[in-house]
Each structure stands twice: as C-alpha cells, then as structure tokens.
Amino acid sequence: MSEKKRALEGVRVLDLSNVLAGPFCATVLGEFGADVVKVELPGKGDTMRTFGTMTATGATLNWLSEARNKRCITLDLRKPAGLLIAKRLVAQSDIVVENFTTGTLEGWGLGYEDMKKVNPEVILVRITAYGQTGPYNDRPGFARIAHGFAGLAHLAGEPDGPPVIPGSTSLADYISGLYGALGALIAYIGRQRHGVGQTIDIGLYEGVFRMLDEMAAAYAKSGYVRQRMGADTVNVVPHSHYRTRDDKWIALACTNDRMWQRLCKAMDRLDLLAADKYATMAQRLAERDRVNGIVADYVGSMDRDALLAHCLHHEVPAGPINNIADIFQDPQFAARQNLVEVFDPREGRVVVPNVLPKLSETPGELRWLGPDMGQHNDEIYRGELGISAEEIERLKREGII
C-alpha cells in the first residue's frame, strides 16, 4: 500500500454529524485519504458508540466499523468558547458534514453563512430528514421514516401482508451518505475549477426515492400505483425467490424471452415455449402465478448447489440467498476481499466490510477502527490549533471539550 497514492490526501473533512448518514459520508471520504476530524459532544459522544453489539473498547461494532480512519475530538458547539474553536476548525477544513435538524447550526451561529466568513470556499454537506426546504424541513426523521415516506416500505412485503422494512438495515442512511460523499466530491472539483464553495442539501428520503426505477414515470403516465409483490418483480416473470429441495433459497432472474428459453431447456420443458403457452413476456405476466408455480416445482425438486450448477451450465442467471454465515464461507467474497480482518489493540480481531469502490492506482484503505472518545484532542487542539495545555485543562473543566 505504501507505493500507492491516496486520492484525497490533503483534503480536510470536519465531521459534525451524528449516528449514520452524515458520518458515513465522512467515512467514505476518509477511506480514500481525506483527514476526517470527528466532533462529538463531551461525555456523550456519537449515538453509534452505544448502538449495536458492545465490545471491549466500550463502544459497539457499529462504531468500530463506521468511524474507521477518523480522528476523534470532543467539543460542545452550543457554548460560545466551543463555537470559537469550531470556527477555527472550519477555517482549516475543505468539507464540513452535518446532519442536525434544519436551523440548528444557524441557531448556534455556525450556519453556512457563518462558516463562509472564516472560510469562503468551504463545502458544507447537509443531510436532514426532509432537506433544508419545504413544509417538512424542520421535522426529525430516521431511516425507517425515510423508507416509508419515499415509497419503498409500501413495496416491501407480501401482497396480503403489512409493509415491512427491506432488510434490517438503515438503507436510507447509507444511500444518503453515499450521495453526500458524491456531492462533496463534485463540489470539490467545482471549487477547483471555479473557486467557489457551496452547500449539498440532501433529504434522507430522497436517495431512496431516486432508486425506485420507473414508478414516478408510470404513475404520471397512467396513474398506476405499484403494490407489494413479495419477492416478485413488476415487469418480469419468472424473476423471484424459490425454495430448493434441501430447504434453501435461490434468486432466479429471467429478464427477457431469451433467458426464459434457457430456463425451459434447463427444466426440460420446451413445451412451455409453444406459441399458445408462455413464449413471450406478455404471456408470462398474464399467467404469473402459473409460471411461478412451474418454476417453484422445478426448483423444489433439486438441492440448491446442484440446481445452481445446472443453471450455470445452461446460462440461467441464478444465485443463492445468502445469510451472513454463507457470506463468510463464500469464495467470491474471499477472492474480492469484501471482508477485511483488522487487529484492534483494545478488542483484538475485528472483521468488517472492506472499502468500496476498488481503485487500481489510488485505492482506499482501512487504517484504523473507530477511536476512543476524545482520543485526538491533544493532537488537534495542541498540535494543530496551538492551544496551550493550561487552556485545554480549563476547557475540559468547563465541559467545552
């Protein structure tokens, strides 16, 4: 790794955010070499420290993984002395990330206009529940709320069941964090070309909504409201999940007639390709349940691994429905180094998802896991801001750091 360059070397990111969407944005930038300074409230810290499986570090696995590569300081932005220090940090930063409720930073005297007074070219990433504008802009929110508001939860679940969360994960937070990182990089390139800073304004629900394929266009065109379909897909059949004989599950995708022909050959059911049967997608869509039943019966007649090998032989797109134990045993995950083992002196062996995307010449890297609260106070306050040891002690006594 030593011979490789870091793409964002020399870029300073000030992470004022909490929990996941904003912090994940900063984490992505830090994985590619940005110097990320994470600010936490003294004595409390980021909520992610206590959310999840606790470790010997006194923080959770969530924190160790998602606060990777950051330098952590404590600072109370709500107090005048803390605000002054925050402005000094802003002055040294290229990108600032925040996800407070709309108007919070302005109330403390640290809004974008305040930041520009000390750093005219600063880039500010703002991730809130509903964005900085609109009638809901001051409402709080979390990923679950965003999934519902954006239309995703309405689609998740069985047709006769309640809307569900699409997996027990904070998908909206991660998507918003990625859009935040993308926006920050676009703004950084824009600043290099045009010499101006700017804000990136993201509502937590917006990234999820952006990924709902043709739903908006279909409704505008015909008033069509897509409903829950379980594992099925609206415009394609068969394109679902099926149980194998050994009580495992596979995902199978026949997105066009050509792939359906391959599946029929694999099933030894060429009769299904007759003109009066299911040769075309329109015919299969009209008989969705019947087609799914035929495929389900076939899949259920074989064990998973033998079935997947048979599908591969016939060039039928299919794959396993993995749980996390399967993933740890899968040779593809190993070959791609999607999991990385890190030794942490406080916790020992920790395995976390590796950095994405993979770059050939300036790859990202995991340099360390989430630090202790205030671990880098002296390094930053004394070493970089030049605050004396006596002043640091006073700031500690007053609860400012």
Domain ranges of the chain: 12-211+336-397, 239-243+249-320
Residue with tokens 């709309």: 102
CA distance 80 to 190: 33
pLDDT score recorded for residue 168: 80
- Measured distance CA(81)–CA(308) in Å, rounded: 63
Q: Give the span between the Cα atoms of 68 and 58, in whole angstroms.
A: 16
Which two three-digit tokens encode residue 261?
A: 């022909």
- Taking each helix axis from N to C end, the angle separating 21-31 and 171-194, rounded to the nearest 10 degrees, works out to 50
pLDDT tens track for 117-150: 999 999 999 999 999 999 999 999 999 999 999 9
Q: Phi and psi (nearest 5°) for 349?
A: -75, 125
Three-state DSSP class for residue 14 = strand
Tell the residue number behind the tokens 């991660």, with chain if given: 174
Question: What residues form DSSP beta bridges with 123?
Answer: 95
* CB hemisphere CA count around 238 (13 angstroms): 28
What confidence score (pLDDT) does residue 19 get? 93
- pLDDT value at position 18? 95
How far is Cα 319 from Cα 163, in angstroms, rounded to an integer? 26
Omega cis (within 30) before 238:
yes
Token pair 């000390």 is found at 118
User: What is the topology classification, in CATH, of domain 239-243+249-320?
Assistant: formyl-coa transferase, domain 3 (3.30.1540)
Q: What's the pLDDT tens digit per position in 382-400?
A: 999 999 999 999 999 999 9
Q: Which residues are identified as catalytic?
A: 173
The dotted CATH code for 12-211+336-397 is 3.40.50.10540
pLDDT < 70 positions in the chain: 1-2
The whole-number pLDDT of residue 1 equals: 43
The reply to whether domains 12-211+336-397 and 239-243+249-320 share a CATH topology is no
Q: Which residue in this structure is represented by tokens 């940005």?
A: 34
Confidence at residue 4, expressed as pLDDT on a 0 to 100 scale: 81
CA-nearest of 137, 153, 67, 86 to 371 is: 67
Write the CB contacts of 22 (distance below 8 Å, at least 6 apart in sequence). 15, 16, 97, 98, 99, 125, 127, 177, 180
The two structure tokens encoding residue 108: 């403390």
